[in-house]
Structure 1
């Protein structure tokens, strides 16, 4: 069963995701990130600029597209649909809804911001996962 962690209360979910992804890369994890296309575009840019010393190799993959053969070793994928992520074992969801296909990943990180809309959608995702028997760990972001 997928291990679920909620990271909540972050003032800047995208920057928090960058830090998570940098740690994941350093540990050798293969990660998929889902969100709306606009948020993924923001994250794509931020991953190159959030830390002058960090290198977080990643690629963007639009829905229904197959990755180029030369990119298959890329450790972090920004995807419209979790099911499209090549060989990823960890999923980071920055979207407002449950990511379809999350159950095929070993780990799921839900990143929830401080604003009211983010908190409400995060609570909905929490209830959905909890009602299906997932044990949920929570991490309050300072």
Structure 2
């Protein structure tokens, strides 16, 4: 079963919170696929990953890059994992039928959006019924995470 962690964004947007989590994933030597809801979102996150720290960047590519099988962090709108990543990150209320192919899944949702929150609750229930290990993290005012379940 896949370990699935829900990240409830309350005080900082995805563009601030996601790079910090990906920095930890990358620092642990893991590869990640980030499934986004649109090409516009993919382009936005691409820019953020290049610039979120003034003195460094997160190595990554997207579904339009020349060597997808060599990407440590891979942005896509599709159900694909060309580099054999062990971590799946779902944003924009995206879902995946390939959850079981990953060791970890990070579900990030905007708690200020009622529709996104309701969708996340539905996915929590589905994952729980499927037997996945679930954790729930709520964003603190400082941008960190507090484990709630």
Bucket of the pairwise TM-score, normalised by the shorter protein:
0.7 to 0.9
* TM alignment of 1:6-85, pairs within 5 A: 6-10=6-10, 11-37=12-38, 38-61=40-63, 68-69=66-67, 72-85=69-82
8 Å contact kept, 2:89–2:106: yes
CA contact (8 A) 1:82 1:102 kept: no
For 2:35 and 2:16, locate their aligned partners in 1 and report how far apart those are by CA, in whole Å. Answer: 15
Q: Do structure 1's residue 90 and structure 2's residue 87 form an aligned pair?
A: yes
1:140 aligns with one of 133, 138, 141: 138
Deviation at 1:97, TM superposition (A): 3.4
**Would you say the 8 A contact 1:94–1:111 is kept in 2?**
yes
Structural RMSD (CA): 1.8
Q: Is the contact between residue 69 and residue 82 of structure 2 (CA under 8 Å) also seen in structure 1?
A: no
Q: Structure 2 vs 1, CA of residues 84 and 74 (structure 1 numbering), >3 Å: closer, same or farther?
A: closer
* 1:96-138 deviations in Å (ceiling 9; x for gaps): 1322212100100101112222211211211111121222111
Query: What TM-score, normalized by structure 1, do the two folds share?
Result: 0.85
Following superposition of structure 1 onto structure 2, how do residues 105-116 of structure 1 map, counting pairs within 5 Å?
105-115=102-112, 116=114
Large movers: runs of 4+ above 3 Å = none
User: TM-score, normalising length from structure 2?
Assistant: 0.82
Gaps of 5+ in 2: 141-149
CA distance in structure 1 between the aligned counterparts of 2:9 and 2:61, rounded to whole angstroms: 27
Q: Is the 8 A contact 1:33 1:79 kept in 2?
A: yes
